[in-house]
Amino acid sequence: KNQVEQSPQSLIILEGKNCTLQCNYTVSPFSNLRWYKQDTGRGPVSLTIMTFSENTKSNGRYTATLDADTKQSSLHITASQLSDSASYICVVRGGGSQGNLIFGKGTKLSVKP
């Protein structure tokens, strides 16, 4: 069964600290993996996308990694800011003509001053 599992469910860190969010998937065939950020009361917004051939991609203080062999991705946040407090959702697109999206349940990150 195609699944996307995220860990931890929630995380509290102090401002300025780094953190890493995990996403493991069993989706096959695989097309791509995307991380979304969802601020409280807002819709999700795309942070970055990882395709099969990409190992690492950075977007400012956010760095995503992908290991297609072990079917794992991580989102690393450097020097966290209060504005990083949000839910982070991992979404995997399956291959083929349907290209169905499989959503993880998200990690809720709280950055405290």
Strand pairing category for 10-14 and 107-112: parallel
Q: Please, which residue, 80 or 89, has the CB nearer to another protein?
A: 89
The span from the CA of 68 to the CA of 55, in Å, is 8
Closest CA to 68 of 7, 9, 27, 19: 27
CA 17 to chain CA centroid, nearest Å: 18
Does residue 31 touch another protein according to CB under 8 A?
A: yes
CB of 1 or CB of 113, closer to another protein = 1
- Does 41 contact another protein by CB under 8 A? yes
Residues 53-92 touching another protein, rule: CB under 8 A, are 89
Distance from chain centroid for Cα 29: 19
Instruction: Candidates 42, 58, 61, 79: give the one binding another protein (CB under 8 A).
Output: 42
Instruction: Provide the residue type at 26 as one letter.
Output: T
Q: Binders of another protein: how many residues, by CB under 8 A?
A: 22
Give the residues lining the site for another protein (CB under 8 A).
31-32, 34, 36, 41-46, 49, 51, 89, 93, 97-99, 101, 103-106
